[in-house]
Structure 1
């Protein structure tokens, strides 16, 4: 005759089974949380620019930087440190504090236009931009250099020296260059404000498109580096 399992053992069996189920659920939850926590952080973009990136003469929300923020959504943090009227010298003076405070993954440098409009030395402009690039690279940040052109008011030789700065820097420091931020815009009166210098709100999506083709690979590279 078989003996039945004592009733006390039934209670113990149920207790052990309950603890096992609880442990399995706990470990599964911990695994899910670990996967969530391992998701790579979103990159931080620091934009050093002048009025072209500060939405001069239009609503700030209509500017290309704001449109970029909308496109990226929660997938990036954007710090727009652009100031209307800023020169490369002014930008350089602020740069160390900004890069130290925000520790960006990508730095977009859109400066030089005001140097050119004021007839400042292209050599000094190049030195200022070079210092910002070097500080960015020393902080392990990728650099996107946004070039600009100017009218030939100071002569073609000055204009050539001015635009040549951007190409020279891109080659020397192996950084990505957008040769002319206002490509397809500057010569279209319908897309420029009455001063002939600043683009209208309608031009801002086009500016973003000019930037995006060069920026997208840097964003992808930043995500890949964060995942490694």
Structure 2
């Protein structure tokens, strides 16, 4: 039985590592980075492709059952791509972050954005959701999970939505600086 404290990466296909080989998701690389830095934590990948914020709310009990020290929350992309109401996504994200925080779990919030064809108003409201929640719950925010990955040769799969294995290595390095201050060596 692994007794190390748990870091849960909780999200959709970007967390799951969609389209990459086993062991090449950003949570896999995050585990390697934590090990290399001398942090004794177990990273658990709770990413499910296609999940919306509503699915995240429905999965909260199973996440809390893992008794995580920290949860990296990455949801919203599927809501946005499906054009779901921003208010509904915000309510769901608020419930996810609020429930985790109320349980005593530390949270890191990872944002995502949408392609420009969704229109500037919708995109701005969508992006603002992450900043609002980070402020409300005083949690660290990575505004764009795919920073340094999106639009970079070799970092994105042909679908222009999901990171490659190389891209996931960068995503893990994006998450790491927000996570480390919440961990004990």
- Does the pair score TM above 0.5? yes
Contact 2:27 2:44 in 1 (8 A): no
Query: How far did 1:137 drift?
Result: 1.3
Partner of 1:51: 13
Q: Quick check: 1:184 aligned with 2:184?
A: no
The question of 1:82 aligning with 2:47 is answered yes
1:47-74 CA distance string (max 9 Å, x none):
2111111111111211111111223347
Number of residue-to-residue matches in the alignment: 180
Aligned-partner Cα distance in 1 for 2:119–2:34: 41
Question: Could you tell me how far apart the structure 2 residues matched to 1:186 and 1:217 are?
Answer: 26
Distance 1:212 1:72 in 2: 8
Q: Where do 5+ consecutive residues of structure 2 fail to align?
A: none
Which residue number in structure 2 is paired with residue 110 of structure 1?
Answer: 74
TM-score, normalised to structure 2, is 0.92
Give the superposition deviation at 1:124. 1.0
Is the helix fraction higher in 1 or 2? 1
RMSD: 1.5
Task: Determine which structure has more spread, i.e. the larger CA radius of gyration.
Answer: 1
Q: TM-score, normalised by structure 1?
A: 0.75
Higher relative contact order (CA 8 A, sep 6+): 2
Task: Please state how far the C-alpha of 1:157 moved relative to its aligned partner.
Answer: 0.3
